Each structure stands twice: as structure tokens, then as C-alpha cells.
Structure 1
Amino acid sequence: MSPSDAPPNAKPKRVAVMISGRGSNLGALISASMASGYPCRIVGVVSDNADAAGLQLAADYDIDAKVVERKDHNSREAHEDAIQTIFDDWQPDIVCLAGYMRLLSGTFVARWMGSMINIHPSLLPSFTGLDTHQRVLAHQVTLHGCSVHFVTEGMDEGPLIAQAAVPVLPNDDADRLAARVLKAEHRLYPSALRLVAEGKVRITDSGTVLFRDFPEPDESAALYSHPVEDA
């Protein structure tokens, strides 16, 4: 049984989070997981960067945190095998990428297909990759935002779960725009993770996302997604 096929009112899903930096979205997920009735708990954090500030955040909440740096392994395969060994110990149901800056191999992604999600600071499929805020401003786009999607082998190409939109204001620079998008990310990611954990969204073998008992858009949370389909 996949995590998204679990029955309602099941015990909280075990979530592992992968980070590379400050861990602000990790903080949002931790805060959400502490709320009564939230269907997930964070069981561990993996970072490919020993200096990632998010490691201290995990420690502050007594969450197991591991550093697995690429330079300590002679290949990407060996690096990912080391991460998988940690996951074998933690037994997560869902893996969340939260500012993890390394592209994962198809082999690793295949192990977690349908159970690994990522948040990206743009309205995908527009502006994949890095420097999204600068590129949005350069293209004079008036609407920006963030997306949560299932992870597939292609960078930022996985099927969408949910998106949040924010306006681009006339006096914006990259920093002001990034700060506005980040606030939306902190609302969106816990909401999208809840949908996956509760089995309200899942990815099919053909790569289609199906929704079940999907809530009406909550404007206060800036949560938007695809039209509902029966799962």
C-alpha cells in the first residue's frame, strides 16, 4: 500500500525532509506537524551541507538530523545509497525536499515515486531551475508564486499538487519578491503535504495526478491547484 492509499484516521505519516540550507520550509513543516490533528510527523532531516542552518533547527526540536555530503562519496550513486540507508532506518512514508539543491538520480527518485514531493519558487511549469525571482522581474511578469509537485527525474518537471500565487509589484526587487513568495511557500507546503498524507492526492502510473475529497480553494492560505478529478 502506498502512503497516499492509506485509510483515513490512520496514525501520522512519517516524513523525512531533505535540505541544503537555512531550512525555512523545514520550519514551516515542523510547525504544522506540531498542530493537533496534522497527519504527519517529521522523523528526520538529511542535509548534503554540514553548514546548513536547518540542521540546528532540527536539533532544536529533537529531530534526528544527518549530514551526508557529496564530497565524502566517490559517486552520486554512493552518495544516494548513503541517504537511502538512513531512510531505511527511519522508515519514512513521505520524503519532502525543502531547499535541497542537488538533482537526484532517476534510480533514487524511482524508489520514492509518488511519495517524494518538492516545493519550487515559481508557478511551474514557468521558471524552472535557479534564480526564479530575478528571471521573473527580467521578464516583467506580473504574477509569481510557488508550486508543490511530485518529484520525477526531470528537474522541476513532476506533476503539480498545488500552487500559490503572489503579485509582482512595481517597486519589487528580487529580495522583496523572494520574501513575499517565501511567506506563500510556508503556507502552501504544509497544506500540500497534508493532501498527500491524507490520501487526497496521488500520482498514477501514467504520471497523472488524481484528487479525492479535495477542499475548496482557501484564499486565506493562497492554496490553488488543478481541477478536481475523482480518484
Structure 2
Amino acid sequence: MKRLIGALLLALLAACGEIPQPFRHDGINAAVIPRAARGVVVRPLDDGPRAARLAEALASKLREDGIPAATREVVPGALVIQGEVAPTPAGQAIRWVLAQPDGGILGEATQVVAGSAWNVSSMAAEVMDKLGPLLHGEMPDNLSAVAIPTVRLVPLSGLPGDGDTALTAAMRRLLQRNGLKPVDGDADFTLRAQAGVTPGKPGEEVLALAWTVADRNGDDLGSAAQQGAVPRGMLAGPWGSLANDIAAGGVDGVVEIVRAAQGK
């Protein structure tokens, strides 16, 4: 089950240890990587070991929440979390900023640390609580005027287990993180998926998906195909992180198609 989701996502997660990645999309064009992130880079507050531990703890919290994250820049187009430390009478205050690759600020949060001792785990959890919603599709007000392409995702149907709801939700989240805005009504683009499960090798099933993007007039612009083998029966229950892995492999192709259409 350890096939590539896609070279860009794999590069970002390489420093984070192995995760199951049974699906991939081939042929990613690096020239059309969107400005929105493939993940998040957490920059240490300074060059010291304590700051490095805090940055890694925050990156770990992001990964636990399904967000690709690392403490070094591995791929272009990643969002950035960085902070500035200022002394206070009781300890320190850290101003954390979530920024776009071009420096545009998406949100910020202030963290007050009493004394000189740092509990990096609890500090990372607090930052995640404050900035996490911005990474899960809650667009801040200061981006409301930006012309973000809208996408209507047709809910999936016919998949075993909770695949229909889990994969639909995962793709919506990743469309948002990749600079697109999922909507339920009128949209610039429509995304629909065709899925099928067939027998594979003994003890396996093969899940094949094709994500097709259509324009506002209903004309198909292109499709991104995925295929991967999973243990037989795995799809019959909750999909869990598998849904996020599959969506991560498919969203690259979807974004390529949308960006190419915008460039015409």
C-alpha cells in the first residue's frame, strides 16, 4: 500500500516518516502549482534547539490533523507559519502568523508564555487551535475580495463503507487548501467522480477513480485518473485517513485542469 500519492506531496512528507499512500496521480506539471499551499512550512522562531523542538511539535500537530507539514521548505507553494517573540513582564509573547507564499497574511494569533520554561507540546496545541480553522476551509474576511475560482463538487455515490461521504469531504477540504473554493450552487467549475471497485490480486481489491472537471457551460475540460490496490474488505468500513490520501492524490490533477482553463 506504499505507492506514491504524487511526487510533490511525497516530498513535503518525506521528513515526516512513512504513511500509507496507495493512490497517485501521474503527470503533475510543476509550472501550474497554485499559489495556495500543498502543505505548510513551520519556521522555527530562532536557531536554538528549543525553537526547533517547538516548530517540529507544531508540524506534528498539523500532520495529525491531516495537513502535510514540515519544518523546512521542500516544495514551492507552501503556506508558512512563523512567529516573533517579544518579552513581557511575566514571560514572553509570541505573535504567530499564517501567510501565503507571497507573504500575504491569512491570519495571526498571539500566545502568552508564562515564565521561561516552554512546554512545546501544549504550546503547539494552542497554536493549532487558533490557526487550525484557517487551514480547514474557514476563509478569513481579508480574502473575501480575492477572485478565487469556485468549484461545485458533485457528491460521490456507490462506494462501499462510508466512502461516499468521507471522500467527498476530503476532496472539498483539499480543494480549499489548493486555492479553490468549494460551493454548493452556481460555480465556475463542476467536479464529478466516477469510481469502481474490481477484484485484484488474492486478498486485494482495486479502486479506480476518474475526477472530471467541467466548465460553467457543462463542457468537460479534462480528467485526472487514479488507481490503487487495498486489502480486500478495507473499503467496507470507515475509510478514515485513506479518504484523505486518495483525495490528496487526485487534487493535483484537478487543480492542473482548472489552472489550465483559467490560462486560456
Fold conserved (TM > 0.5)? no
TM-score by length of 2: 0.34
User: Which one has a bigger Cα radius of gyration?
Assistant: 2
Q: Which has the higher strand share?
A: 2
Task: Give TM-score, length-normalised by structure 1.
Answer: 0.37
